[in-house]
Amino acid sequence: MERDGSILIAGAGAIGSVMGGMLRAEGREIAMLGRRTHLDAIARNGLHLTGLFGERVVSGFTLAERAAQLNRRFSLILLTVKSYDTAAIAAELAGLLAPDGVLVSMQNGVGNIETLVERLGAARVLGARVIFGAEMESPGTVRVTVFAEPVAVGPAPHVQGEESARLLQRARSVASILTGAGIPTEACADVMPYLWTKLFYNAALNPLGALLGLHYGALAEEPDLRAIMNEAIDEAFAVARRMNVAVPFRSAEAYRSVFYEKLVPSTFHHRPTMLYDLERRGRTDIEALNGKVVELAERFGLEAPVNRMLTRLVRARERLQREKIGQP
């Protein structure tokens, strides 16, 4: 994988652009799939990266709006599309991933790895927890706004079984590539605890921030909103425990202490991507977050009324916004 060096960023939004830009600046051969307006700006003036990872202008990408426009195979694909696009793009990417290549899901929520394994095979998929934030300030310009912890990349043993041990070495290779490009990354033997811990964070903050237009710090400072977030975390934590996910906290209360004392302060002024998704497209990844908590709670006979209500509110807001902006 490292010798080939060909990397595809499948979903050149804010996070994908940061990944692709940092890797390209380090000399990697990078192709990016994304939206025309953003790609056209990059083609004209380069990709402008600013913020916590430094300032640079990067060019020399292969740019494409559709997977069918790419006529080569890639040893490494970083998947950064929204979760609702995972199944559709997986079918397209299957033909672009080299036989010995690996695809890394860098998406929010849970359920993406399972979908990708079904379509690509257990030996070709890794998951990653990304917990730095970025915003697309304008087409061709992306700013890294917050950085909480290093990216964590690894297999999901409960899905991939005996392949997970072999995939750990591939995760180490990916971690080395990203860290070498200035994106702190660590390999892990089981990525699911990281994904679930991030889900606790996102399920609490994202829907309320999107619905109310508030940054994370403002949510945590409002007592009634804090109570809602606490219950959303409690429900998600109970589901993770029921699934035997080895989350690194003895209780939901222990997680909430870290959440309020460390995670929210480090991302205090950040507004959720879900807010921008609502405003621009009227579609969010709520189903892979709070919606997934509800789905799994039902499967295991648990209750998740707060996550259910948040999911319904965001769905309603999506429909209203699509009507407003004329999207189907």
**Per-residue pLDDT tens for 258-285?**
999 999 998 898 889 899 999 999 999 9
How do residues 160-205 score in pLDDT, each as one tens digit?
999 999 999 999 999 999 999 999 999 999 999 999 999 999 999 9
Cβ atoms 130, 15 nearer than 8 A: yes
Residue 74 pLDDT > 60: yes
**Is 50 exceeded by the pLDDT of residue 18?**
yes
CB crowding 211-221: b at 16 or more within 10 Å, else e: beebbbebbbe
**Which domains does the chain show, CATH number per domain?**
6-190 (3.40.50.720), 193-320 (1.10.1040.10)
**Euclidean distance between CA atoms 298 and 106, whole angstroms:** 26
Whether pLDDT at 214 is above 80: yes
| DSSP designation for 59 | -
Structure tokens at 77: 């694909």
Confidence of residue 237 (pLDDT cuts 50, 70, 90): very high
pLDDT at 266: 86
Burial class (CB in 10 A: 0-12, 13-18, 19+), 224: exposed
Residue 4: predicted pLDDT: 46
Does pLDDT of 209 surpass 60? yes
pLDDT of residue 1: 35
Q: Which of 190, 49, 299 is nearest to 291 (CA)?
A: 299
Return the residue matching tokens 């497209």.
Answer: 281
DSSP state of 261: I
User: Alpha helices of the chain — where are they, by DSSP H?
Assistant: 14-25, 36-45, 86-93, 112-120, 157-160, 163-180, 192-212, 216-221, 223-242, 252-258, 264-266, 273-281, 290-299, 305-325
Considering the chain, what percentage of its residues have pLDDT values greater than 90?
A: 92
CA distances from 46 to 56, 110, 255 (A): 10, 33, 41
pLDDT at 55 over 60: yes
User: Other CB atoms closer than 10 Å to residue 253's CB: what's the count?
Assistant: 12
Check residue 258 and give its pLDDT: 96
Radius of gyration of the chain (CA): 19
Looking at residue 217, what is its pLDDT? 96
How many Å is the maximal CA-CA distance in the chain? 54
pLDDT for 2 equals 36
- Residue type (1 letter), 29: E
Which pLDDT does position 133 carry in this prediction? 87
pLDDT tens per residue across span 291-305:
999 999 999 999 999
Distance of alpha carbon 171 from alpha carbon 173, whole angstroms: 5
Report the pLDDT value the prediction gives residue 16, as an integer from 0 to 100: 98
Q: How confident is the model at residue 5 (pLDDT cuts 50, 70, 90)?
A: low
pLDDT, average across residues 296-320: 98
Residues across the chain: 328
pLDDT band for position 327 (50/70/90)?
confident
- CB contact at 8 A, 24 and 30: yes
Q: What is the pLDDT of residue 224?
A: 98
Catalytic residues: 198
